[in-house]
Amino acid sequence: MINVRYRALKRLMRTRKKKVEVLDDILSIDLGLEEVRLTKGNQQELPIWLIDILESEGYVTQSTVSREEISKYLYQEKQNLTVPASLVQIPWDFYNRTRNTLVKLSSSIDPRDIENVKRISYMVNEITRIRLRKIVQLASLNISDQNLINRMTPEENLVFQDLRRSLSILTGENDGNSTN
């Protein structure tokens, strides 16, 4: 059941829109409900599923996450390492953007890029580890503060909701049929 929910979340997130830099002109793309005109040099907001297609063809490029940005988030998360209510606001597509950054850097032959892959991977793993520890603590405390939940990425929110649901079943707080 959990795998189905994560696959559904992944598919649902692909329908969200992100800004991209247009690298080459395309007259227009009919998306059914809307038509998109891409002009070289402009920024355009497109669904992620379309970005993947157009980026592989060289028409657009997604913004990547810089090592400095990741370092900033890691520093902020470490500031209150043991305080579960101190989740830092990170972009909703942080994990997807870091994955794209690592893929782009991994395909490079520049030794500096290869070293950056190692550093970025380490920092992202640290951020994930710290945030998951905080999320587990929040779930075990059965926190439902919307401000905290809004600071989670969609993936983290799903983990949080699943943990809360599982813990409430284990502790007998509900019969397992609840949808909270």
Q: What is the 3-state secondary structure (H, E, C) of the chain?
A: CHHHHHHHHHHHHCCCEEEEEECCCEEEEECCCCEEEECCCCEEEEEHHHHHHHHHCCCEEECCCCHHHHHHHHHHHHHCCCCCCCCCCCCCCHHHHHHHHHHHHHCCCCHHHHHHHHHHHHHHHHHHHHHHHHHHHHHHCCCCCHHHHHCCCHHHHHHHHHHHHHHHHHCCCCCCCCCC
- Quick check: 180 pLDDT over 60? no
**Strand pairing class (17-22; 43-47):** antiparallel
Q: Is residue 162 located within the same domain as residue 116?
A: yes
**46 plus 81 within the same structural domain:** no
> pLDDT class for 61, splitting at 50, 70, 90?
confident
Q: Alpha-carbon Rg of the chain, whole angstroms?
A: 19
Same domain, yes or no: 36 and 72: no
| CATH number of residue 43's parent domain | 3.40.5.50
Q: What is the pLDDT of residues 112-146, one digit of tens each?
A: 888 899 999 999 999 999 999 999 999 998 888 89
Residue 178 lies in a domain: no
Q: What is the pLDDT of residue 36?
A: 83
Integer Cα distance of 59 and 28 in angstroms: 12
Residues 14 and 78 placed together within one structural domain of the fold: no
Residue 40 gets the label, from left (phi > 0), alpha (psi -120 to 50) or beta, of beta
Kindly state whether residues 100 and 164 are assigned to the same domain: yes
For the entire predicted model, the pTM comes to 0.78
| Separation CA 29–CA 25 (nearest Å) | 11
- Output the average pLDDT for the chain: 86
Mark whether 40 and 75 lie in a shared domain. no
Count up the domains in the chain and report the number.
2
Tell whether 154 and 82 lie within a shared domain.
Answer: yes
How do residues 137-174 score in pLDDT, each as one tens digit? 999 988 888 999 999 999 999 999 999 998 888 887 76
What's the pLDDT score for residue 21? 86
Q: Residue 42 is part of which domain span?
A: 1-62
Given a cut of 70, is residue 82 above it in pLDDT?
Answer: yes
Within-domain flag for 31? yes
